[in-house]
Amino acid sequence: MSRYTLLLLLTVLFSGTVNAQNKPQKPFVALAGDTLRFEMPQIEIMADKEGVLQRTPGSVTQLNAKEIKLISPVSGNEVFRRSPGVHVVDEEGSGLRTNIGIRGLDPDRSRNVLILEDGIPVALNPYGEPEMYYTPAIDRMERVEIVKGSGQILFGPQTIGGVINYITADPSLSPTTNVQLRAGQGGYFVAQLNHGQTNGNTGIVVNYLHKQADQLGHAGFVINDFSTKLKIRLSGKSTLGIKLGLYDESSNATYLGLTQGMYDQGDDDFVLMAPDDRLTVRRYSASVTHLYQFNTRFSVKTTAFGYTTTRDWQRQDFSVNSTSNTLPANFSGQLWGDTSIAGGAVFMRNTTTHRNRQFEVGGVESRVHYSYTALGLKNELDGGVRFQYERAYEQLLQGKKPDARSGDLLEDEIRNGLAASVFVQNGIDLTRKLRLTAGIRYENFQYERDIQRRRFSGVVTDTALLAGSNVKQWIPGIGLNYNLNATTTFFGGIHRGFAPPRVKDAIDGNGGVQPLDAELSWNFELGTRIQPHPAFGLEVTAFRLDFSNQIIPVSQSSGGAGAGLINGGRTLHQGIELGTQLDFGKLLQQNFGLQLALNATYIDARFSADRFVTQGSDTLNISGNRTPYAPELLLNASLTFEAKNGLAIRIMANHVGEQFGGITNLEVPTANGQDGKIAAYTVLDASLVYPVKKWINLHVSVKNLTNERYIVSRRPQGIRVGLPTFVSAGIDIKL
């Protein structure tokens, strides 16, 4: 029986589960758009409760289904840019591998952000290798939560940059079917079918997403994504939630980008330099959540989850030319770029390297929520415990042709990790206006790396290198909320930032393990939320992240030579975020909406202590240099018109300030295009939603209206150019 068949069979079996001996219990419901939902017992950071922002000790952003629909996103990157402090770097143009940096943290593979879906981690191995080679599709999301500051210590192991939680739709009360179709240039096509309903005590929602493109930006792809959620009301106090998922992707993704000369010449920004490069990602996931509501003040929520991710990447080998332009022995005959400049040309080879990895994650987490009164003061207590197991299998093979599907085994290793964490947070209303929230988290992570085959000084050797460690860390946090009145809230907080060391340490040529330290920082935040009128809202936040040690990528994905990550030493990130929205329609009491939204971030992220690096024959002290991929200025603005009949038109602008591709802050780019300054750029988008009937909506979207040509990244290995003007259109049908 195939895994597809098994998932469908389980869906059918559970969808018929009804407690026939008991009368159906009244379900918990929430209004999502115009559809009543049968709420799942899943983990949410903020939930959707009235007054929650007045009690949250930190900066937060919630993007709902309506906002996502108005953005008409090709990828989730467009949605995340709506949050202050969030910098997203496009890699292939379709957001298949998201690169998110928060408050000046390096965005490479979103390593410093805890990313969840319905409260469940989605990274390959959340402790040992938190890279985002798989990214949940924004197409099937109902809303997104982004939390920064001390409120995130209830979630781990990453507590430095922030937490992003994707929320999928819950079962609807009545049978509801949604069909979405999108089409655009480059063979872009999206089809999504979603059906939800509730029968008695059981609710089910099934979603199937198909997404493909012949070539969108730097890659073509085919994705099939199936998921289902079931909610079973066992009794008036007990609810069971089950979620299953299957994701299958095949794309011609590559690490190889343009040289500087190729970009300057501008002949073809999206040429396939390695046309046989191919990445396949397969992910199977399952989770079971049980909620027991003892009474209105006390509840226990327990989740067991597990997922596997297979990530096999076939990439053609190449070398960059030197001054002598000596051809490699296995030269394929294909070269790119300018051979008159050292580093300005790429020689393609007749060999292919396969980087095959498989990851397994399993865990169980139990959380309690208790509202109580002590010494006449109201308290809210949240706490829990989690155990998690991780395993990674990695093999490196070399094929004898550019399109070889397999090859000789060069490297083979297994990495294991076992984590336990305990966390508690208590909020106490000291006065009617002042709330103190204090919490602490304890992380214990044991890991082991077993290298069974490796190349040392170019020689493939069977070996038995075994390295491991045990990391223990207390993570405290404290925050204050002061509600001056019903429209103004001040908040502030301090918390310990922590990220465990990566299991995959650097290995030197003699087989020595170069261990990485944990990332540690003290994070400070101070801000205010103001809403003096229903038409106007403002949030301003000042922040400071003081690292005793920040891990800096030098991996191939970050444009380095493949040594992995390095201990970067002390860095300091500080700045200010602003988010505001003004609705002129409400302000003028008109029957239309005209909304202006703006978020802006100023970031000063620098190495804050002496650190010496070698560049050519020179030794440089990079103290005072800006950290890589940390633009000083981020701006995102939109103007939205909404007519009474439901017509919506939006113009969006996104500005990213200049940034550097490396730690030495090179002003002049290198010939290979992998380092140097990245100029500031501004991109304009537009979208239109037109309701033909109550149950049919038409969508039109134009990305990069002015056809701006700009560099988004010098990673992984060469220049990546932003998408040119891209037009798509589609239809949503609700039955």
| pTM of the shown model | 0.89
Q: What is the pLDDT of residue 309?
A: 97
Residue 701 structural domain: 3-734
Q: Contact 641/594 with Cβ under 8 angstroms?
A: yes
Q: Tabulate helix, strand, coil % of the chain (nearest 5).
A: 5, 60, 35
Which of 165-169, 207-211, 545-549 is predicted with the least confidence, judged by mean pLDDT? 545-549
- Residue 351's closest CA among 418, 393, 410, 424? 410
Residue pLDDT, tens place only, 300-354: 999 999 999 999 999 999 999 998 999 998 999 999 999 999 999 999 999 999 9
Q: What is the pLDDT of residue 613?
A: 80
Higher local confidence (pLDDT), 83 or 92: 83
Please name the residue that has the structure tokens 């919490």.
439
Question: What are the two backbone dihedrals, phi and then psi, of residue 455, each rounded to the nearest 5 degrees?
Answer: -90, 125
Q: What is the pLDDT of residue 592?
A: 87
| Rounded distance between C-alpha atoms, residue 640 and residue 341, angstroms | 49
Strands 202-216 and 345-374, how do they pair? unpaired
Q: Contact 163/146 with Cβ under 8 angstroms?
A: yes
| Rounded distance between C-alpha atoms, residue 494 and residue 482, angstroms | 15
| Rounded distance between C-alpha atoms, residue 511 and residue 682, angstroms | 46
Q: For residue 483, what is the enclosing H or E element?
A: strand 459-485
Residue pLDDT, tens place only, 457-472: 778 989 888 878 888 9
| Rounded distance between C-alpha atoms, residue 514 and residue 560, angstroms | 17
AA letter at 651: I
Label each residue of 199-263 as H, E or C: ECCEEEEEEEEEEEEEEECCEEEEEEEEEEEEEEECCCCEEEEEEEEEEEEEECCCCECECHHHH
Residue 461: CA atoms inside 13 Å, Cβ hemisphere, count? 12
| Rounded distance between C-alpha atoms, residue 276 and residue 254, angstroms | 9
Residue 165 confidence (pLDDT) above 50:
yes
Q: Contact 424/137 with Cβ under 8 angstroms?
A: no
Q: What is the pLDDT of residue 614?
A: 77
Q: What is the pLDDT of residue 356?
A: 96
Name the domain count of the chain. 1
Residue 278 confidence (pLDDT) above 80:
yes
Residue pLDDT, tens place only, 136-160: 999 999 999 998 877 788 888 888 8
Q: What CATH number did the domain enclosing 423 receive? A: 2.40.170.20
Share of the chain above pLDDT 70, in %: 88
Higher local confidence (pLDDT), 58 or 627: 627
Q: What is the pLDDT of residue 585?
A: 87
Handedness of CA 553, 559, 560, 562 (dihedral sign): positive
